[in-house]
Amino acid sequence: MEALYDWRIMQMRTKNFLSVTLVFLVIVWAGCIYAQERGTHPSMVPEAASGPPTVYVEPFGVPVSPAIFLVNFILLYVSNPEIAANMPAYRAALPQEVYECLVENPDGCPYTDMAQYFDEQALESGGSRNKNTSWPSSCQTDPKWQSLAPPEYQQADQINQPLGKEKADRLARLLGIDQDMILTDEEYECMIGIPPRGPAREIIFVCTNDLTNSNGNAVIPLSSYGLSIDAQGDVRSNCAPQAPCLLFNQLAKGPLEAIAKECGFTDKLLRVVNETPFIEFVNETPECQHTWEPSCIAEGTCPASIATQ
């Protein structure tokens, strides 16, 4: 009876809490602009802008916002710590031209047209010009967790730099993950499957790649931006419409539970839900994602004094 009770709890919780799991990412362009000159989401009113433009805004990718990054990290680390170590160590500002294109074209912009702007940013000296950018209220979490999310890069070579094993292991410990929660190699291989994969496993596999496209792990690394390249060669947010990580939401309605049961790690998933801040992060992620859809790019704020330096 106790085992059955736990499984029923698992069914309810996975449906309620895993519906926003591996789902998100994106970032900002270097340099703030007046909130009144943004020209971004037409329907959005800047959360920090009222009266004179004393606050500047900077667009950041939603998936590298604190709660969303951390919920994705928990799931990836529990699945495979080596893969989680390829998540971004730093967040980077979207070049302005890329940001504007994705706001107008959330489904993606040709990477061949956008590559020059990423290249120009990588050549800039001095790194990010805004070290005190604040996430909009819709994308914030408890300060004790917020500090664990990727900071803004300071040197150009930090863009798309992976966490690495040491940082990933340390972050996992701070989030309450222990060895008994981590899938075995066999459980992980069962979850991912082998080609030709079914639709559910293919979504998991591609989304995992999109979240970990850092230097050394991808032909075109874009992890610090929360972006990836689709099959058509377009760059887009990892939580753009129809992106694999967004489609992952649908798996929680049944396929993910079936995979967990088939592969024998239902108990581990239940421990993650009960013993880490997973639920806290999952409860916070929808507001950030939905506030900034469909482009999935959030506008952070920074003091005017910093932006004009």
Tens of pLDDT, residue by residue, the chain (309 residues)? 433 333 333 444 444 434 333 333 222 222 343 332 333 443 343 443 333 334 577 788 899 999 999 999 999 999 999 999 999 999 988 989 999 999 999 999 999 999 999 999 998 866 655 566 888 999 999 999 999 999 999 899 999 999 999 999 999 999 999 999 999 999 999 999 999 999 999 999 999 999 999 999 999 999 999 999 999 999 999 999 999 998 886 776 678 889 999 999 999 999 999 999 999 998 999 999 999 999 999 888 876 544 444
Q: What is the predicted pLDDT for the residue at 246?
A: 87
Q: Which residues pair with 94 in a beta bridge?
A: none
- CA neighbor of 92 nearest in space, from 25, 8, 47: 25
Taking the C-alpha atoms of residue 122 and residue 142, their distance in angstroms, rounded to an integer, is 32
User: Within a domain: residue 234?
Assistant: yes
User: Within a domain: residue 280?
Assistant: yes
Q: What is the predicted pLDDT for the residue at 127?
A: 60
User: Within a domain: residue 27?
Assistant: no
Domain carrying residue 187: 55-307
User: Within a domain: residue 244?
Assistant: yes
User: Within a domain: residue 33?
Assistant: no
Taking the C-alpha atoms of residue 77 and residue 94, their distance in angstroms, rounded to an integer, is 26
Q: Is the whole-model pTM more than 0.85?
A: no
Q: What is the predicted pLDDT for the residue at 126?
A: 61
User: Within a domain: residue 3?
Assistant: no
- CA neighbor of 282 nearest in space, from 74, 57, 42, 33: 74
User: Within a domain: residue 148?
Assistant: yes
Taking the C-alpha atoms of residue 20 and residue 72, their distance in angstroms, rounded to an integer, is 9
Overall domain count for the chain: 1
User: Within a domain: residue 268?
Assistant: yes
